[in-house]
Each structure stands twice: as structure tokens, then as C-alpha cells.
Structure 1
Amino acid sequence: MFVRIGRRFVRVESRRRAGRFVQGLLSGLARVNCWTIAEQVGDRTPDGMQNLLSRATWDADGVRDDLREVVVEHLGVEDAMLVIDETGDLKKGVESVGVQRQYTGTAGRIENSQMSVFLVYSTPAGHTFIDRELYLPESWAEDQARRDRAGVPAQTLFTTKSRLALAMIARALEAGVRVGWVTGDEAYGKDAAGLRDPLEAREQAYVLAVACDHRVPGPGEESVRADERAAALPKRAWQKLSAGAGAKGRRYYLWARLRLHPAGKTGYHWILMRRNRRTGETAFYRCYSPRRVALADLARVAGRRWTIEETFQTGKELTGLDEHQVRTWTSWYRWTTLVMFAHAFLAIAAAQARSTPSAEDLIPLTRNEIRHLYAQLILQPARKIIDILAWSAWRRRHQHRSRQSHYQQRHQQPAPDHELQLEY
């Protein structure tokens, strides 16, 4: 993979250092920063790694473009999906670019944090990041002194998160990435002008979550809340469908949809509803497609949104996505791009491992296990390789037994009484 991006570095020293930087990200360090990475790969000081992120001459956006091509080449299918979401990194100071007190889902409350928006390429084979944008709040965009200290480019203005997401989606589509659907959470589904309308103008199908108070046409001429409309649906309107496979088996919910006819718009529009079979909690989605699609297809797309949550989790746990200790605009983009590269390596390796049959009592190699083996066998060769491989087999066999136990318990559990009444 790394050969593909070599042309993005002006000096061979920077290219080699970037390769060692990615190795450090994959080495399983307890804390990941320029100091620990430099020590891990044999540098005597962190100066070289810090220079790579701040002053060395190389094209981070070019690396991003090459990375996107590699990901699509290895994971691509005709009906791939683009998933958008944001994440927040908690910060103590006020000098890191873009940091301010703002709501972040990472903490579930308003905290001093730095927000960024990511685009994930998701297919049945695997999923990983292919683009990223740092969110610059208005308080930063209008403060020239802070901009100068953090190296924010002069052409960078305040842009909403929906517009950042749209820019990344457009960049992927214009690069020739073929996708069937775009999906995201409520923060993006609620923005018609910033995201939904531009996607429809491109005839790009989407399934975007919206809040329970999203307005939809009622029985009469007036609009009503989505949850009120859902409560009025007859039991026969709901269908039991899978939202995809989870850690404990297929994820079944009750689904329903209503056709919408927005004035002046073409194509097919729906409000999609997903009801938890046990709690009755209902989620809502605004959907569009230039052609008619089945309810099961919409449910499948809505169920795929979780892949970005898993990507965030593995990106932070395995490759240090949220552990950067950088303050400037350039350093943030370079750190994040190299983290994306390391994560893509694990995602592609895991996809290739799943395509190879393994023993019946072993689960396929996971990204976590691949990173462990890569660190132990390649980056830090062990004295007894057979012992490391034996431990890998033991972990995977144990996980296989645990999964089978979960499947059996799920299969043996009787369906709730209210579910039996809803099924036809």
C-alpha cells in the first residue's frame, strides 16, 4: 500500500519517516504521540516525527486521494455506501485548532473539544475512512490572531458540518467512486438545504436519520410529527426485517415506511420507521432514491450506518485517531491522514483474511488480531513465533465459542408477547 503514496513526498527521508510513523501507529503502544512513536521505531529524538507533521514537504490531500483509490480497489462493490458522521476529541487547552466548548457525542455533553467530520466507505467486505475534515467554529473563523497561530489557511471559512460532509461526498463521487447510498445520523438528516437537496440534485440515493419531531404529511392537509404518524399506523403496516448482522446474530426490527410527495421534487421519497421489538422505541429516517426500492433495501442501508461507529472505535483503539497532541491545522490533517492509512491497512487485511477459509472452530482474523500479529511478528519479531500463532488461535477459538453461545441463547429466547401480536 505504501508504495502507492510515495510520489506525494518531495524527499525520500520524509517518505521513509512516514512509513515508520505508520508502523508506530500499528505497534500497539499504550499511548500514541510523536515521542512514543519515535522511541518505538528507533529514533533518538521526536524531532523528526514532529517535523514530518509540521514542516516537511508532502501532500496530505494527495495521500488521502491515493488511499481512497486503494480502499475502493480492495473493498469496492457496486452497491457500496458512504457513511458520514462526526467525532469529538476532548481537549484541556484552548490553543489546539478548532477547540472550544461545544456538544460532543463522545462525552454526551458540552465539553472543551475539537470536532471533525469523517467519511467512511462501507461494503460487506469491510469499512474504513476515506476522507476527513476539521470543523472550524465561527469563534475561530472570525479570530484572525488564533487563525494565524494555528496556521489556518486564508481561504478556509466557517462551514457547517453538513457542508463539510457534502464536500467529502462530492469529492468521492467526482473521483469516480461508485456508491449506491449515502447514510448518516440526525445531525445531517435534518439539513435539507445543506445536504439532502444537493444529494437529490445529483440523484444520489440516501437514508438519513431524522428526529422524532420531524414533520411529515398527515391524514389531512397539515403536517404532523413523525412519531405521531408512526403511532397511528396499523399493526399490519410493520414488517420484521433484518438491519444486518451484529455481534450476537442478525439484528431484527419492525419496519414501516410512508411515501412522501414533496412539492416540485422528482424521484421517490419516504419516511422510514424502525421500531425496537422489545422496547418499542422508534427511530426515523428521511429517504430518497431516483428509482423505486423495496422496504428491505431501505432497512439494510439504515442498518449499515453503525459501521462508522465501529470505524471510530477501532480507529481510536487500534491506530490512535484521538490521541494526537498537535495544535496546528497542517499537523492535524497530516496526523489524521496517516491514522486513516494505518486503519485502512487493517481493514483491507481483515477483508482478505475473511475471504480465506479458516478452521471451523476459529473466527476470521479481526483488525485487532491482525494488528497484534503485525506488531509481534513483523515490527517486533518474537523468539518463538509458534507461541504467538498459538495464542492467536486460542483467542479466535475462544471468541468463536462465545459467539456460538450468544447465537444459541438468542435462538432459545421466546419472542415477547407484543411482538407475537404484531407479526402477520
Structure 2
Amino acid sequence: LPKDWINDAIRRQAAQVPDSIGFVTKPEIAAQMIARALAAGVPFDWVAADTIYGVGAIEMQLRRAGKGYVLGAHATDQFSSWIDKPEVAGTAEQIAQALSPEGWTRLSAGDGTKGARLYDWAYVELADLRAEEYNKDLTGLWTRGLLIRRTIADEDLAFFSTWCPAGTPVETLVRVEGQRWAIEDAFETAKTELGL
């Protein structure tokens, strides 16, 4: 429930909202959803989310579970490479601005209402890490990275923190990020049709 509902006892009582229901942030809701999916054995390999979910707690939850992710990051989020990767350090925006023209590839993030959603993409590998560093029951080499999307028309940038099995092609990361659009569209349609 929104904070204004949580803080309004009369409104809660009128709507018969139990006192046990409290305010929870979207990242906390996402973490609960991921935990429930893992506990229930729901088969999934990836999580994609926008910047509201941030980098940090959800990243660590997914790493410990051995799940890949493409999570929205802010232009001001700091990234740096280490462990035998080309030296990169700075904000996501600074890293994007320093990329050479050859560092960008035009790819579709999936079909939209007007056809293919084409953008220019760049992917910067930051580190290769062993999965068992996060969960002793997991094995394999995973790559931490920064995925950058640039619109063709105005060169507006969007940034994504990534975690994936080593060797995952950028096309896969773009496909995962592109799934977010279909999910958001479905949520908006459901809100409209159900009056939420």
C-alpha cells in the first residue's frame, strides 16, 4: 500500500485493511518476489528491472542464487573493472562517453508496437568471478558488466548492471533487457483494464 494509506487509520479501517499490512518499497517487494520464486522452485535464469530497483541488495540476492540479471543503473553509479579486464573506472556515463565508435553495435531489443526497437548498444566486461564466491553450491565463471543503451535519434543513454555466465553474448543481454518493455506494457494494460 502507498504511504498515504498506511498513515491514514480511518481510510484503512473503511477499506478493511488489516493492521498487519505495512508500507514496503518496490525493491523490498522485488526481493520478496525473488525469494518466493526461488523457494517455490520457479524455473528462471534471468531478472530484468529498471533503475528504481537499483544496484546492491537485489544484485547480491541474485548472485547468491546463481541467476543472471540486467538491472537498470543510474548515470551517476560508479563502475570499475578488475581482475584481468581492460581498465575502466568512473560513472556509467563517463564510461559510455569514453567508448570508441567501434564499441557500439546496433541491435533490436525486441518488437514493439511499431516494429523492431533498435538501439546502439555497448557492453563493458568488468570482472570474471567464480560463482562459488557467492554460493558454495554453485560453480562456474560469471561476468560482472555494464550494458549501455543509446537511442539512435537523440543518443540518450540508459545503463544496466549485468551478471551472466562468462561468454554470454551481448545479444542475450539485450534480449533480456528488452523483455522489460513487454512486462511493463502488460502491467499498464492490466491496470487500465482492471481500473487499478
CA contact (8 A) 1:162 1:191 kept: no
CA contact (8 A) 2:55 2:73 kept: no
CA–CA distance in 2 between the matches of 1:207 and 1:238?
A: 18
Counterpart in the other structure of 1:224: 90
Could you tell me which of 253, 258, 273 is aligned with 2:124?
258
Could you tell me which of 4, 14, 30 is aligned with 1:165?
30
Counterpart in the other structure of 1:201: 64
Deviations 1:71-102 (A, max 9, x none): xxxxxxxxxxxxxxxxxxxxxxxxxx6352xx
Q: What's the CA shift for 1:146?
A: 6.1
Q: How big is the alpha-carbon RMSD for the aligned residues of Structure 1 and Structure 2?
A: 2.7
CA–CA distance in 2 between the matches of 1:148 and 1:278?
A: 47
Deviations 1:321-362 (A, max 9, x none): x1xxxxxxxxxxxxxxxxxxxxxxxxxxxxxxxxxxxxxxxx
CA contact (8 A) 1:256 1:272 kept: yes
Alignment of 1:35-50 (within 5 A): none
TM-score, length basis structure 2: 0.80
Q: Provide the aligned length of Structure 1 versus Structure 2.
A: 181
Which runs of 5 or more residues in structure 2 are unaligned? 135-140
CA–CA distance in 2 between the matches of 1:152 and 1:199?
A: 32
In structure 2, the CA distance between the partners of 1:296 and 1:262, relative to structure 1 (3 Å rule), is closer
Deviations 1:133-177 (A, max 9, x none): xxx6xxx4xx8x5697353343x5554321211111221232232
Radius of gyration: which is bigger?
1
In structure 2, the CA distance between the partners of 1:316 and 1:275, relative to structure 1 (3 Å rule), is same
- For the pair 1:192 / 2:56, whether they are aligned, the reply is yes
Q: What's the CA shift for 1:262?
A: 8.2
CA–CA distance in 2 between the matches of 1:197 and 1:275?
A: 27
- For the pair 1:210 / 2:73, whether they are aligned, the reply is yes
Amino acid at match of 1:167: Q
Q: Which structure dedicates a bigger proportion of its chain to helix?
A: 1
In structure 2, the CA distance between the partners of 1:220 and 1:316, relative to structure 1 (3 Å rule), is closer
Aligned-pair identity (%): 34
Counterpart in the other structure of 1:98: 2
- For the pair 1:303 / 2:178, whether they are aligned, the reply is yes
Which runs of 5 or more residues in structure 1 are unaligned? 1-96, 101-113, 115-135, 323-424
CA–CA distance in 1 between the matches of 2:33 and 2:152?
A: 35
Q: Which structure dedicates a bigger proportion of its chain to strand?
A: 2
Could you tell me which of 79, 102, 112 is aligned with 1:246?
112
Counterpart in the other structure of 1:351: none
TM-score, length basis structure 1: 0.39
